Amino acid sequence: MEYIHHALKFKYDLCIGCSHCTSVCPVCAIHVEDGHPILDPNRCIDCGMCYQTCPMNAIYIEQDDFETIYNFKCPVILIPSIFSAQFPEKVSQRAILSAIYHLGFKYVYEVEKSVDVLKEVINERIQEPHDGPIISTFCPAIVRLIQVKFPSLVSNLLLTKPPLDMTATYIRKVLVERGNAPEDIGIFYVAPCAAKIAAVKSPVGEDKSIVDGVINMNYLYNKVFRVIKQGLYTLREDEFDFHPISKNSLYWSLTGGEIRDVPVGRNLAIDEVHNVSDFLEKLENEDIDDIDFLELRACDESCAGGILCAGNRFLIAEREKKRAEQHTNDITPEENNLLNFKEYLRENMTVGEVQPRSMDKLDDNVAIAMRKMKKVFEITNDLPKVDCRICGYQTCKALAEAVVNDKADLRQCVFVQRILEQTDKLTPQEALKITKQVWGETKLDKNSIKTLDLS
């Protein structure tokens, strides 16, 4: 099985076993054992819903050590255009850029610099015959969602590198041409979400990312803001849009940003992972057709709502739109040097075939998988279908699948326990033991409730 990196990690010393994370996961990737959440690495899409819902901050996002930028003679930072939109309006873009340089970076680029090349490829692809909608691969959480939950739609994914990788490809080529040794160049990406960190560490359709490291956007925001508030930087003459990008490129990270650049055909933009999942289910069941292009984003308000953004997603989106409206729509090759490398980028922008890794796959042997599927159906029908999660799983179906794969006991269901107790096939002591295996000893300690008179 391919290596799949996950940026989301659990702090079990803070976890209280509330199962909030289990309830919101769009792919049933978390269940509870011994009072703690257990992640299924083959299902997780790093969407970050669990991170947002945890009341104890017991979920954190792994990132590279910021100090590693100093291991390179030529450290470069790639920031999404929404980064500056998180700061209060009184903080100038020039001050933000100056503070970033103060931290030690030699070059600063915005990720969306390559969008003007990518949009041409998308429009060319739409003009070609295609079976079903072409699905954007901008959001890595959506790519993984399709891999695990909608494997039949994998063939609809646009097999091109996202703007991050295309811009990084351009940067490496230009800096080498300027005389920098390849080993001296270190490219670091500022990620607004966990999925983009995971995508750099284990990119889908590629063996290795061209990016050397990832920086948590919230971490960098605080670091830059501290430099600005303490006045530690020297104000540079450079404008923040040091390498101008077009108006539409600034919209790209927001909901509807991609389809602005796709004027032909019927195209839809959908954000928030549960909304996307519901839509893809209808698409897979052929309830929806006649769509040419789908822009799908896991976060509400797209990257402006990334879980590592420091500000309110609606305010970030508003500020980004204001900045876009202040720009001219067309950027010439003289203004954006990347456009002079258009052919080189087009030759190096395709990724390999994306493989499905269906979460519903019960066995590699088709005959065995069919028998297991039948058994899952039978067990699910016998369960109460209340999806109470007391068994430790998100749904009755998820429990049934775990039972069929010998990963769970059907008696974990509290309703099954009561039925078995009525028929003398299970004692209360045995039922208590099973429940403790799911929720741990603490929650079922008779001395843990002190405010109620249970006598």
Domain coordinates in residue numbering, the chain? 1-60, 66-347, 362-455
In tens digits, the chain (455 residues) has pLDDT values of 456 889 999 999 999 999 999 999 999 999 999 999 999 999 999 999 999 999 999 999 988 999 999 999 999 999 999 999 999 989 988 899 999 999 999 999 999 999 999 999 999 999 898 889 999 999 999 999 999 999 999 999 999 999 999 999 999 999 999 999 999 999 999 999 999 999 999 998 888 899 999 999 999 999 999 999 999 888 876 554 455 688 889 999 999 999 999 988 999 999 999 999 999 999 999 999 889 999 999 999 999 999 999 999 999 999 999 999 887 666 766 677 888 999 999 999 999 889 998 877 888 898 999 999 999 999 999 999 999 999 999 999 999 999 999 999 999 999 999 999 999 999 999 999 999 999 999 888 777 666 656 55
Which of these CATH numbers, 3.30.70.20, 1.20.58.2050, 3.40.50.360, 3.40.50.11900, describes 1-60? 3.30.70.20
pLDDT digits (tens, 9 = 90+) for 178-187: 999 999 999 9
Alpha carbons 41 and 62: distance in angstroms, whole number: 15
In angstroms, what CA-CA distances link 398 with 23, 90, 339, 380, 438? 12, 50, 49, 9, 15
Q: Tell me, what amino acid is at 169? A: T
Alpha carbons 80 and 33: distance in angstroms, whole number: 38
Positive or negative torsion for Cα 31, 33, 36, 41: negative
Residue 444 confidence (pLDDT): 84
